[in-house]
Amino acid sequence: MSTLIFLRHAHSQANESNVLAGRTPGVLLSQKGKRQATQLIERIGKARVDQLHLSPITRCQLTLDPWLDSKFSSAIERLDIREEFTEMDYGDWSGKKLSSLRRSPLWKPIQETPSKVKFPGGESFRQAQKRAIEGCEELFSSRGNKNHLIVSHSDLIKLIAVHYLEAHIDTFQRIDISQASFTVIQKSSRGVNILAINSASDLRSIVGER
């Protein structure tokens, strides 16, 4: 049995400015995000985490840095960067104000029929979901009963959640994934269990302690 623990990055400067950051380089955590990252020292604490997998986007690394620098991270077996869990490629939309993007004709399909949407100069929601699920299945198939902590992004986590809930991709916008929240998915020979979605709880209450 393997468990995937998805952690959305903490509040960023782009969130503060209502900008769709996407893969825009140089986006750091806001002051609120720095506080959230510090709180993760205790929220993750001594929870059973065996391996860490990070999106290559800077705000994901910054989110986990305080916990990595704490006494709690000493038992980690492995830390790597996983492109499968990187932010969606929003193409020409990246770096633009959400207030402006909401006026685009593409906004309504994004909310109602995302299965049919591909961002201009970027990727489609189906492409993003495919790579994310491939990453999940690789971790699920790895040896041993491991708990994998994955620091990723809202849309990716929502796309993963609807897949394992066996829901249509067009329903993924119904899920809310807050900054610094946990979404936990467990898979065994008996199937998949969703242990948490968008949880603000301490991780130990979901996956137990070492």
* Tens of pLDDT, residues 155-167: 999 999 999 999 9
Residue 79: per-residue pLDDT? 95
56 three-class SS? coil
> What's the total number of domains in the chain?
1
Residue 122: left if φ>0, alpha if ψ -120 to 50, beta else—which one? beta
CA distances from residue 21 to 4, 105, 119, 126, 147 in whole angstroms, order as listed: 25, 20, 14, 20, 29
Domain that holds residue 19: 2-207
- 162, 172 contact by CB (below 8 A): yes
Q: Tokens in use for 4?
A: 């995937």
Q: pLDDT, tens digit, for every residue of 99-118?
A: 999 999 999 999 999 999 99
pTM of the predicted model as reported, rounded to 2 decimal places: 0.97
Q: Give the per-residue pLDDT at 143.
A: 82
User: Does residue 179 surpass a pLDDT of 90?
Assistant: yes
Whether the pLDDT of residue 210 is over 90: the answer is no
**Gap between the Cα atoms of 108 and 126, Å rounded:** 17
Handedness of CA 1, 156, 206, 167 (dihedral sign): negative
User: At residue 136, what is the residue type?
Assistant: C
E strand map for the chain: 2-8, 19-20, 51-54, 78-81, 96-97, 147-152, 182-188, 191-199
CATH of the domain at 145: 3.40.50.1240
What mean pLDDT do residues 119-140 have?
98
Q: Which of 137, 145, 147 is nearest to 184 (CA)?
A: 147
Is residue 202's pLDDT more than 90?
A: yes
- pLDDT of 22-80, one tens digit each? 999 999 999 999 999 999 999 999 999 999 999 999 999 999 999 999 999 988 998 99
pLDDT at 148 over 90: yes
Q: Which two structure tokens, joined as six digits, stand for 140? A: 């699920």
